[in-house]
A = this chain, B = another copy of it.
Amino acid sequence: MIDRLVIFGVGLIGGSLALALRAAGAVSEVVGCSRSAANLEEAQRLGVVDRWTTDPVQACEGADVGVLAVPLGSMQGLSQAIADHWPAQAVLTDVGSSKQAVIDAVRAGFGRLPRNFVAGHPIAGTERSGVGAAFGTLFQNRLVILTPADETSPLASERVAEMWRATGARVEFMTPAHHDHVLAATSHLPHVLAFALVESLARMSESDEIFHYAAGGFRDFTRIASSDPVVWRDICLANREAIVEMLDRFKGDLEGLREAIARGDGAELEARFGFAKEARDRFSNSMQVQLDQ
């Protein structure tokens, strides 16, 4: 049970976490903190937070658990703002999509990495953003990855894991570097490709007409290109090394396909498409099993 939960950054993820914990009866009081009073008023109206403040220092008062749910680029500044005020016994975690960068930012902001800070990342989301898009079942049957550092207190890790389990999520642990490598492949690279594809098409002189003839496959393929540009700017900056590595690997594979198309090599195209289809069908089936559990 969490007495006072403080959500820094009440958007899709922070808001959904608050809603899920309230629905589970796992929290007594939720305090929201962000830069925008309008955002916080909406959060209160939607029943996401009990009360709010735009002052991070004030938000620290009496906190039991804190969640940094701001864009990656704001993590260091926020950490610095609360460093001298965050209660030493209170647990702090985050929901950022790049873990080494968050650990570095929190360490820089606090001047050291607090033993009670546990870096975390729920593998869930939609292309929408803002507290209006939050919903309490977002994390059900989804994975949450925690990446404690060497300094991190095991008790704090367990407390954060319990919080996530209360939302219906499953919790796994790994190193920050491994998380960043895996997420570059499954999340960051696809987002960059989706943004790049829509940009390519939108820059074509007949772009209106081109989008007019796009269908459901295109809509699904580009859904993630409707994601928040600031969030994804920060992810690309925070995890740039792993993302560039994945992009270069992908470019090599794409170049091979382009050559096979250009020279009309049907056997190679069928083999490569067939290999991809099998892998994708396997993934899809195992994901369905996961969701059905």
Task: Give A residues with C-beta under 8 Å from B.
Answer: 73, 123-127, 142-143, 145, 182-183, 185-187, 189-204, 206-207, 209-230, 232-234, 236-237, 240, 243-244, 246-251, 253-255, 257-258, 260-262, 264, 266, 269-270, 272-277, 279-284, 286-287
Contact = CB atoms under 8 A, between A and B. Distances in A.
Contacts of A274: 229
Nearest to A238: B264
Contact of A125 (B124, B211, B217, B254): B217
Contacts of A191: 217
Given A266-B233, A279-B199, A279-B211, A226 B261 contact: no
Contacts of A182: 206, 209-210, 213
B187 A193 contact: no
B275 A202 contact: yes
A261 B237 CA distance: 6
A142 B234 CA distance: 38
Contact of A217 (B190, B201, B240): B190
A126 B218 CA distance: 11
Interface of A is mostly: helix
A226 B279 CA distance: 9
A72 to B, nearest CB: 11
Given A143-B215, A145-B213, A247-B254, 5 more contacts: A125-B217, A190-B217, A220-B223, A226-B284, A237-B264
A212 B45 CA distance: 37
A217 to B, nearest CB: 5
A126 B216 CA distance: 8
A160 to B, nearest CB: 18
A185 B204 contact: yes
A203 to B, nearest CB: 7
B215 A280 contact: no
Nearest to A275: B199
